[in-house]
Structure 1
């Protein structure tokens, strides 16, 4: 789940606790080009305040204007489609041939948004099944590769923890990689026990810890939405993190270094740390896509691109 979607759920819960009526809008289908994918969410308060997005802005404006003028009168979820005609597509800023279908759901006692927010905050992967005829929703187990499903009567959306990146080392390369990862909406944690690197860290929005790398990885318990990248070039630090990361469920584990250095690292991990060939085979090293990168910013781009590629199943 992206940070903005988490904010949408948190806003729904907070606004309801304050006594407001809330409308949760979800993109359920798109045709042609669309600014936001299926699953994108928007929360609308009864006074027109909004968090999140379902388009480039024009549809949000229309929805906010409707709520501002009429309030939230609906008692059951409704389907709304934008961009069916060429005139409407132009009016709402949709690309030629683009259209999107929304489910607009008044959030109530049976919506289960509070339970959904709690599950996501606990880093659980769940599906929310909404019956449009009644407005009742329930949480169900979900698989990582499941997608949104809507058949006109039932909407099933999949929600999981925010994607997370653990970086070992607080050097110059890490700074560029962390800035890119923040822009990609990852939660970013940097670990470096070396004070000479921590004291010059200047990237806002990143959690910085001085603990030893193996302790950090063990404590963070990497799951299927966590990537671990070791960038210190110091085997005493990188190998400790990799030892734990390769045994975890992290979807991506990478290490900086040449092919020769990474071959030697793989041998160390098996000989001295007891990792299996299958566990060591998960290591991306040299880390990053081959884009002939030379400078720290270019190397950071190559690493981020490879992490996103693996995340998206490429």
Structure 2
């Protein structure tokens, strides 16, 4: 689930609590090109307000127009297709004649949206089972990586908690990384036991923790929706935390430093800690994609770009990271 779809759930819960009728619209199938992926959601209120997106805007306009003309009258979920004919593809602005199939579900207390949000706040990965014949909803622990499945009149959607990012070090670069990651809706935690760095921290919306990084990594119980970046240049702070992170399920673990320092770090981790070659191979360093970055803000973009590529399963062959950019000029000591 991305931040847009989490906002959809939160807004839907607020509308239900306020006594409004509303519908949840979910992309369940696409053919050809589609602006939004399978699993994308939109919610529409009985007064025409809308949050989220299932297309480039034209389908949203049609849904809003219908609600304003007819109100919300569905009692049970419905499956609706847009863009089947060439005329509809042109009308709804679907690129290359694409077609989108949507599930439209009327929401009320039985929909268990508030309970779903509570589970997400507890950092659970949840499957929501919607019976398309009756509208009944079951919630359970997710058992697969499938975003959405539809079988036997049951729509199963997977909902994950916010992605988490732990930044080790509270320096200038960390501030830029935290700002960008927060805008991407990561839940960001910054850890730095050094008082002189904490004193200069200026982001009140980002949690700053005074603890040893390795202890915090263990306490956070990192899962597949977690990332760790070490930005202190200090082996006493970074190494133990990296060891714990590389043993966890975190989808991304990276550390700043030059190619030479990165090689030394890998040698230390291999020699002094019980990390397997496979675990060491998970370490991204030098950190970030090569974009010619020279300033802290550009380096932060480079780091978040690599994190995003890994999160989205972009093949390594399509990424050019700093470690692979051997022929490129070194932008700065901090950037590699």
Same fold (TM over 0.5): yes
Residue equivalent to 2:51 = 51
Q: Which moved more, 1:97-106 or 1:179-188?
A: 179-188
Structure 2 CA distance for partners of 1:64 and 1:205, relative to 1, 3 Å: farther
> Counterparts of 1:119-158 in structure 2 under 5 Å?
119-143=119-143, 145-151=145-151, 153-158=153-158
| Residue 22 (structure 1) shift | 2.1
| Residue 60 (structure 1) shift | 1.9
Structure 2 CA distance for partners of 1:152 and 1:90, relative to 1, 3 Å: farther
Q: Equivalent residue of 1:156, what SS?
A: strand
Question: What CA distance in whole angstroms lies between the structure 1 residues aligned with 2:86 and 2:180?
Answer: 37
> Counterparts of 1:88-107 in structure 2 under 5 Å?
88-107=88-107
| Residue 263 (structure 1) shift | 2.6
| Structure 1 unpaired stretches of 5+ | none
Normalising by the residue count of structure 2, what TM-score does the alignment of the two structures yield? 0.83
Maintained 8 Å contact 1:165/1:187: yes
Residue equivalent to 2:187 = 187
Normalising by the residue count of structure 1, what TM-score does the alignment of the two structures yield? 0.89
Deviating beyond 6 angstroms after TM superposition, the runs of 4 or more aligned structure 1 residues are none
Q: Which moved more, 1:275-284 or 1:95-104?
A: 275-284
> Counterparts of 1:206-225 in structure 2 under 5 Å?
206-225=206-225
Question: What CA distance in whole angstroms lies between the structure 1 residues aligned with 2:179 and 2:143?
Answer: 30
Maintained 8 Å contact 2:3/2:184: no
Q: Equivalent residue of 1:27, what SS?
A: strand
Maintained 8 Å contact 1:125/1:144: no
Give CA-to-partner distance per residue, 1:7-60, whole Å, 9 cap, x none.
221222222222222211111112222221111111222222222221222322
Question: What CA distance in whole angstroms lies between the structure 2 residues aligned with 1:306 and 1:270?
Answer: 24
Q: Which moved more, 1:32-41 or 1:50-59?
A: 50-59
> Counterparts of 1:174-253 in structure 2 under 5 Å?
174-202=174-202, 205-253=205-253
Q: Which moved more, 1:289-298 or 1:222-231?
A: 289-298
Q: Equivalent residue of 2:135, what SS?
A: coil
| Residue 76 (structure 1) shift | 0.5
Residue equivalent to 2:80 = 80
> Counterparts of 1:261-280 in structure 2 under 5 Å?
261-280=261-280
Q: Equivalent residue of 1:65, what SS?
A: helix
| Residue 250 (structure 1) shift | 0.8
Residue equivalent to 2:296 = 296
Give CA-to-partner distance per residue, 1:255-304, whole Å, 9 cap, x none.
11123222322333344444444433321122223445444344333322
| Residue 202 (structure 1) shift | 4.4
Question: What CA distance in whole angstroms lies between the structure 1 residues aligned with 2:90 and 2:179?
Answer: 36
Residue equivalent to 2:38 = 38
Question: What CA distance in whole angstroms lies between the structure 2 residues aligned with 1:144 and 1:209?
Answer: 33
Residue equivalent to 1:118 = 118
Q: Which moved more, 1:132-141 or 1:205-214?
A: 205-214
